[in-house]
Copies of this chain bind each other. A is one copy, B any other.
Amino acid sequence: MALVVQKYGGSSVADAEGIKRVAKRIAATRRAGNDVVVVVSAMGDTTDELLDLAQQVTPLPPQRELDILLTAGERISMSLLAMAINNLGVKAKSFTGQQAGVITDAVHGKARIVDVVPHRIRETVERGQVAIVAGFQGVTESTNDVTTLGRGGSDTTAVALAAGLDADVCEIYTDVDGVFTADPRIVPAARKISRITYEEMLELAASGAKVLALRSVEYGRRYGVPIHVRSSFSAKDGTFVSADAYGLVAAATLDPTDPEAPEELVMEAPIISGVAHDRSEAKITVVGVPDVPGTAARIFEVVAGSGANIDMIVQNVSVARTGLTDISFTLPEGDGTVAMTALTAIQSEIGFDSLQYDDQIGKLSLVGAGMKSHPGVSAKLFGALRDTGINIEMISTSEIRISVVTRADDLDDAVRAVHSAFDLDAADSEAVVYGGTGR
C-alpha cells in the first residue's frame, strides 16, 4: 500500500466529462489499495476567463485581489472532482491551499512555498478518504491572505505536498505519454524517455520542454521526491524522474512484469537524454561597445534592473583597430520592450553605437548526464548542423547541456538532424501514435 500524490492539469478536467473520467482513475487507484492525494488545476480556460473579467474592470488589478479571483478556479474544479469521486462510492473531500497547509511568502502572483503542514490531508487519508487539494494556491502565514504560485504552480503544489507527506511517488498527469527525446511534432521518430535524472529534467525544462514545470523539478530534486510524468489517457508507464534514474528508485517503481524492464535496468545510462527546443526567445545585440572594463557589467546590471530575464550571453572579441566590441544576449520575447527601453536610456552613458533586436531566433539544447564523461559530443553536434547547412549564431554550455542559437526557420531541421546524429530515433516510429505535443 503506497501513498500516491496525483496531479491533473486543466485540460484533463476541462468539462464535466473530463472530471468524471479523472474521478474514475482516482477511484481505481484508491480501490487498488493506495492512499491517494490529488492536486487539481482550474478547469480548461477558467483562469484566462477570470483574467479577462479583471481586465474589463481595471487595467492594473491589485495582485492581492487578482490572487483571490484566480483561486476561485481551483475551488470550482476541486469541489466538482470530489463530488464525482463520491458519486463512484469512494469517499473524497476537497481542500483549499490554506486548508491543506500550503504556506507561502507574501509575493502575490508568484509566491514561493515556504512550508507545507498537511495535517488535515494526512488525517483524511488515514480515514481511508481521498484528499483533493487545490493546486496553484497557498496562504501567507502572517496575514492569512490567499496567494498564487504563478506558472507551473499546480505541479509545484503536487511535488511539495508529496515531499511534506513523504509520498512514495508524485504522478504528474498530462495529455502526452511522458517526456520525449524531442518534440514528436517535429521529430516523428522521437522516443519516450523511461527514466531521467532531476538534473537532466531541469536542463530540458529550462531549455523549452514544457511537459513539467521547472520549479516542480527543482523542488523534487531538493526533497528527493520521485516524479512520474504520465498520460491521463493511458495506463502505460510514462517517464520517471529521480536522483539516480537507473538505480534503486527506478527499480522500485518499475513493474517487473513489464517485458522491457530487465533490459532497461541493466542498460547503461545513455549519453544523451534528449533534444529540447525553444522558439520563445529574442536576441538583443549592443553594437559598438567601447571595450573597457566594467561596461559589460553595467549593461547587464541595467537589463536585470528592468526586470528582464537574461539567458545566453556572447561577447565577440574586440576588433583591434577600433577598440569596439559587440555584446549579444537572449531573453524571453515578452521582456524585449523593457530591456530595449532600459538600454536606450544608457546609450550616451555607455557610448555604444546602436541596438539590434531580433525575435527570429530558435534555440536547440542537447541534454544528457552522459556527456560529462564523453568527449566529442559538441563536435558531433556542430558537425550535424554543418552537414545540414545550418549556421550557429550563439553557443552556451553547462556540464550536461549544450545550447545553440540558430535562425528560427532552421530550428526544426536542426532538431531532426541532431536527434538522428545521436541515435535517438526510435527503431520503429511508435512515438507518432502518441499524437501528443511533447511540450
B54 contacts A66, CB within 8 Å? no
Indicate whether A11 reaches chain B with its CB closer than 8 angstroms.
no
B78 contacts A75, CB within 8 Å? no
Q: Whole-angstrom distance between the alpha carbons of A144 and B100 in the complex?
A: 11
Q: Whole-angstrom distance between the alpha carbons of A71 and B96 in the complex?
A: 12
Kindly identify, within residues 62 to 105 of chain A, every residue whose CB is under 8 Å from any CB belonging to chain B: 62, 64-66, 68-69, 71-73, 75-76, 78-80, 82-84, 86-87, 93-94, 96, 99
- Determine chain A's interface SS by DSSP, over half rule: helix
Kindly identify, within residues 1 to 51 of chain A, every residue whose CB is under 8 Å from any CB belonging to chain B: 16, 19-20, 50
Which of B72, B80, B84, B87 contacts A76 (CB under 8 A)? B72
Q: What mask results when residues 229 to 263 of chain A are scored 1 for a CB within 8 Å of chain B, else 0? A: 00000000000000000000000000000000000
Residues of B within 8 A of A53 (CB): 16, 76, 80
Task: Specify how many copies of this chain sit in the oligomer.
Answer: 2
Q: Whole-angstrom distance between the alpha carbons of A248 and B71 in the complex?
A: 46
Residues of B within 8 A of A99 (CB): 144
Closest beta carbon of chain B to A43's beta carbon, Å: 9
B79 contacts A16, CB within 8 Å? no
Indicate whether A57 reaches chain B with its CB closer than 8 angstroms.
yes
In chain B, what residue has the closest Cβ to A50?
B76
In chain B, what residue has the closest Cβ to A70?
B79
Indicate whether A435 reaches chain B with its CB closer than 8 angstroms.
no
In chain B, what residue has the closest Cβ to A52?
B16
Residues of B within 8 A of A87 (CB): 57-60
| Number of A residues, CB within 8 Å of B | 36
Indicate whether A56 reaches chain B with its CB closer than 8 angstroms.
yes
Indicate whether A61 reaches chain B with its CB closer than 8 angstroms.
yes
Q: Whole-angstrom distance between the alpha carbons of A14 and B57 in the complex?
A: 12
Closest beta carbon of chain B to A349's beta carbon, Å: 36
Q: Whole-angstrom distance between the alpha carbons of A66 and B78 in the complex?
A: 11
Residues of B within 8 A of A64 (CB): 93
11 contacts between A and B (CB under 8 A): A16-B57, A19-B57, A54-B79, A57-B84, A58-B87, A60-B87, A65-B80, A66-B83, A68-B79, A69-B76, A69-B83
The 5 A-B residue pairs with the shortest CB-CB distance in the complex, in nearest-first order = A16-B56, A58-B87, A69-B79, A68-B79, A72-B75
